[in-house]
Structure 1
Amino acid sequence: MAGEIPDLEAQERTGTGKGAARQARRDGMVPGIVFGGDKEPLPINIPFNKLLTMLRKGRFKSTLFNMKVEGHEDVRVICRDVQRHVVKDLPTHVDFLRLRRTTKINLFINVEVSGEEECPGLKAGGVLTLVRPEVELVVTAADIPESITVDISGLEIGDSATIANVKLPAGAKPTIDRDFVIAQISAPSGLASQSDDEDEDVAADEVPTTEMDPPNGEQADD
C-alpha cells in the first residue's frame, strides 16, 4: 500500500479479566488483545484518544498496522473487532490479528495514473476523473503492493478504464467480482453544454407536422 505501514503503539496490559479491563478504562486506555501467528495472546492497552482518532478517520479494520509494544518484537497486525459502548458508541475493547506472510487480508490500495502525456482524450481538452482513488483488494500479507497503476494512454473523450485494464500484483484480486470503472475521460463542461444545446435544437427541428398544418401547402381534406 502507498507509503509506510503506520505504527500503532500499545502497552502490555498486566493482568487479565474484567477488573484489569475496567482499570485500563479508568486510566484513559482501551484494553485489547493481539492473537494468532502461532504465539500466545498478548493483552494490550491503547490510549483512548489515539484510538478514537484513528477510528474516526475510517477504514480502521482494513488498515495494516505495525504494532509496537515495549519488550516485544514489532509485528504486523490488522483489526478484527472493535467492541463499543451500547449507549455512547465509544470503543471499549479491540482485537488484533497477527499476520503470517501467507495470510490473506482485505486492504484499500492507492491508485496511480500513467500515460497522461500520451492520452488523446486529454490532448483534445478532456478532463480526467479518478472515480476510485483507492481499490479494495484481497492481498497476501507478504506481498502488499504500494499501489496499482491504471494506464490511460489510449483513452479518448468518453472512454473509461476499468479494473479489467489493470495488471494486479500476483495473488491479489478485487473484493468486487464484477468489472468496475476506475478512471474516465470526460468532455470539458463547456463542450458538454454546447452538445446539449445542439441536441435540443435538433429535437426542435424534428417536431412532426400536424394534420392541421399539412406539408407542401396542401389543404387538408374535409
Structure 2
Amino acid sequence: MSDQLTLPAEPRERAGKGASRALRGEGRVPAVVYGAKKEPLSIHIEEKLLVKMLETGHFMNSVVEIKVDGGKHRTLPKDVQFHPVTSRPIHVDFFRLAKGSKVQVNIPCRFVDEEASPGLKRGGVLNVVRHELELMCDVANIPDEIVISLDGLDIGDSVHFSDISLPEGSTSVIDDRDFTIAGVTAPSALKSDAEEAAEDEEGVEGEEGEAAEGEEGAEGEGGDAQAKDGE
C-alpha cells in the first residue's frame, strides 16, 4: 500500500461558481469530503500540492489525511475533475473512511517476467484486456498495484482472475465469472503466414477437385461415343 498522504486544507465558506472561480484564480482547488454518515465538508486545497500528488500515479488509490481547522479526516480520493482545455484540476471529491470499512477502488495491473514467456520470446504480443482491477479492499490495506507474472505463457495462453493472488482483505467486485486479464496472441506476421498457408492448401484442393471433375467428364464423353458407335 502507498504511504498515507497528508493534505492541508482550508474550509470553504462560500459556495457557487463565482466563489469557486475566485479560489482557482488564487491557485486553490475546491473540494468536498463526504461519507461515513457525516455531513459533507466543503474545503479548498493548494493546486500545486494536489498536482504533485496526482503525478505520483497512485493518488486515486492512496489514503489521504486531510487536515482542516485542527481536525483530521482520513479519506480516499473518489473523483478529480479537470478543465477540458487546460487540464488543470478544478474539483476533487474525497470519501471519508470509517475505521474497519471497505472501499471499492480500481487497482492498476503490472505485468512481469516477460522474458520467461515462451510466447513473447517467439514474437507473440501481450494483449491486455484489463489494465485495472475493480476491487473491494480494507481501508488499511489498499494495494498500489497487482503484480501479474507472465512466466510460462505461450501463444494462445491467457491469464484469468483465478490465476492471480490478491492481498489479504481484497476481493473482486466482479464475482460471477473468471474473467480474462491478458493473453499472448500471435503477431500479425505469423497470422499472415498461417492464412497464406491455409489459402494455398485450399487452392491445391480446388485444383485437385477441378482435375478430378475433368477426368470424370472425359470418361463420360468417351462412354457416350462408344454407345453411339454401337448403334
CA displacement, residues 144-201 of structure 1 (integer Å, 9 cap, x when unaligned): 1122122221211111111121112223222233222222112233222111111111
CA contact (8 A) 1:28 1:47 kept: no
C-alpha distance in structure 2 between counterparts of 1:123 and 1:80, whole Å: 40
Q: Trace 1:10-89 onto structure 2 (pairs within 5 A).
A: 10-13=9-12, 15=13, 20-22=14-16, 24-28=19-23, 32-37=31-36, 41-46=40-45, 63-64=61-62, 66-70=64-68, 71-73=70-72, 75-79=74-78
Q: Which residue number in structure 2 is paired with residue 135 of structure 1?
A: 133
Higher deviation after alignment, 158-167 or 143-152: 143-152
Higher deviation after alignment, 154-163 or 169-178: 169-178
The match for 2:109 among 97, 108, 111 is: 111
* Higher gyration radius (CA): 2
Shift of 1:9: 5.1
Instruction: Supply the AA of the counterpart residue of 2:166.
Output: L
Which sections of structure 1, spanning at least 5 residues, go unmatched?
A: 83-90
Q: Which residue number in structure 2 is paired with residue 100 of structure 1?
A: 98
Question: TM-score, structure 2 length as denominator?
Answer: 0.66
Q: Which residue number in structure 2 is paired with residue 199 of structure 1?
A: 198
Shift of 1:50: 9.1
Say which SS state the counterpart of residue 11 (structure 1) adopts.
Answer: strand
Q: Which residue number in structure 2 is paired with residue 85 of structure 1?
A: none
C-alpha distance in structure 1 between counterparts of 2:204 and 2:35, whole Å: 72
Q: Which residue number in structure 1 is paired with residue 220 of structure 2?
A: 220
Distance 1:180 1:6, change over 3 A: farther
Distance 1:116 1:46, change over 3 A: same
Say which SS state the counterpart of residue 190 (structure 1) adopts.
Answer: helix
C-alpha distance in structure 2 between counterparts of 1:114 and 1:219, whole Å: 66
Task: State the number of aligned residues.
Answer: 206
Higher deviation after alignment, 21-30 or 198-207: 21-30
Distance 1:79 1:150, change over 3 A: closer
CA contact (8 A) 2:77 2:92 kept: no
Q: Trace 1:3-14 onto structure 2 (pairs within 5 A).
A: 10-13=9-12
CA contact (8 A) 1:67 1:76 kept: yes
C-alpha distance in structure 2 between counterparts of 1:212 and 1:206, whole Å: 10
C-alpha distance in structure 2 between counterparts of 1:80 and 1:216, whole Å: 75
CA contact (8 A) 2:66 2:73 kept: yes
Higher deviation after alignment, 167-176 or 42-51: 42-51
Say which SS state the counterpart of residue 196 (structure 2) adopts.
Answer: helix
Shift of 1:80: 7.5
CA contact (8 A) 2:100 2:138 kept: yes
CA contact (8 A) 2:73 2:96 kept: no
Distance 1:145 1:101, change over 3 A: farther
C-alpha distance in structure 2 between counterparts of 1:105 and 1:76, whole Å: 11
CA contact (8 A) 2:3 2:62 kept: no
Say which SS state the counterpart of residue 138 (structure 1) adopts.
Answer: strand
Say which SS state the counterpart of residue 143 (structure 1) adopts.
Answer: coil
